[in-house]
Amino acid sequence: MAAYGLYTHIASNKFRSMLLLAGLFLLIYVLVYAGALLAEVVIDGDRSVDYYLMAAGRDLAKAFPYATGVAALWVVIAYFFHQNMIDSVTGGEDVTRKQQPRLYNLLENLCISRGIPMPKLKIMENDALNAFASGLNRRQYAVTVTTGLLKALDDQEIEAVLGHELTHIRNGDVQLMVVAVIIAGAVGFFGELFFRMFTNLSWNSTGGSSYGSSSSSSSSSSDRDSKGSGGGAVIVVIIAIALIMLAWLLSQVVKLALSRKRELLADAGSVELTKNPDAMISALRKIENRGELAGATSAVMELCIDNPREGFADLFATHPSVDSRVQALVQFAGGRDPGRLALPGDTEGAADDDQPEQPETADRLPSSASRGPWGDDVAGPASPSAGAAEDASQGPWGRHV
């Protein structure tokens, strides 16, 4: 699906996301098949590989409606109670205009300016600098902000963060990410359940141990006998474990594919809402490496504006790096990167060590800025003064915004 403008990028991303979610749901049936393989081995450990594969296929056909029902029940429970689960983990509480007039007014003004329904506003007592959106329908939508973010950011930066989270709601990212987390959680839960169940049975049950221990006569049998009888159980067990591991790994990869590009689109949407790319950039620079929510699960961190939990060599990072997000805003929205920003609570001198050198042309857009991923009309000024009036009237992505 080709994408030529900001909104076609959003539509294209939604289409790919739905395909990925369908694939994620299919992983549940992969786990059921793996569980059926293990069950057949436990029941009878002296069969051929072909027998186990065919028997597990028949078991999958029988279990298909039950697996679908359990998965649907899992989604329904999460649909109604996911916000309560998130609040119990983060400690987020609803606030009113009277309690937080500054934050409430900023969010309300953004919603009114674009005709967006006002989501619930929540505050969590935490010194970390972070925020996230949640909810699966208009009655559930909520934007949660930490107290640390309110203290560290000025009004324009907070407005940019709120615009980022509102964009997630407008684009349908919140629903997709919540559903992805739910299904991936189910895959991880049932995968671990099958693995633990088999581990216990293989050591404690007579059926499972029949293929685990062999007599001296069976150890001297031919390759043909091992493949045709008890040896098939070992091969099938390896296949089942490989399927469980593959299902878990693919569930994580799908979540990455859903979330990484969405953060870039949400940054772009925030600038489209606020017309202030510099505020989005400075907000990201302040939040950078300061967003860790102690005690929060990985599922909650994946919803946040920044997730500092990068994983092994960035392989399982759910968000693009702040540097790449800032670079995109500089190149395509005409913003300026001030580099890493120090906060009052930072150790003296730490900011100087982390501050990257800015090239002499840092305030000048690269030549590729005239043609961005959202169309040929993307245009940025060649200098801080050139084209400023035009950008202010057309938005950072030109006439298509």
Determine whether 165 is an active site residue.
yes
Contacts made by residues 74-82, CB under 8 angstroms, sequence distance 24+: 74/182, 74/186, 75/179, 75/182, 75/183, 78/178, 78/182, 79/136, 82/134, 82/136, 82/178, 82/182
C-alpha 39/C-alpha 260 separation (Å) is 38
C-alpha 341/C-alpha 282 separation (Å) is 8
Residues paired with 142 in a beta bridge: 120, 134
The Cα angle at residue 14 between residues 12 and 19, in degrees rounded to 5: 100
| Cβ pair 15, 176 in contact under 8 A | no
C-alpha 394/C-alpha 4 separation (Å) is 17
Instruction: Count CB neighbours of 102 within 10 A.
Output: 11
Q: What three-state secondary structure class fits 401?
A: coil
Phi first, then psi, for residue 185 (nearest 5°) are: -65, -40
Place of tokens 């949640």: 134
Residues paired with 121 in a beta bridge: 143
Q: Concatenated DSSP letters for 276-345?
A: -HHHHHHHHHHHTT----TT--HHHHTTBS------GGGTT-SS--HHHHHHHHHHHH------SPP-TT
Phi first, then psi, for residue 27 (nearest 5°) are: -65, -25
Sequence-distant (6+) residues with CB within 8 A of 220 are none
Active-site residue identified among 165, 272, 288, 302: 165
Residues with active-site annotation = 165
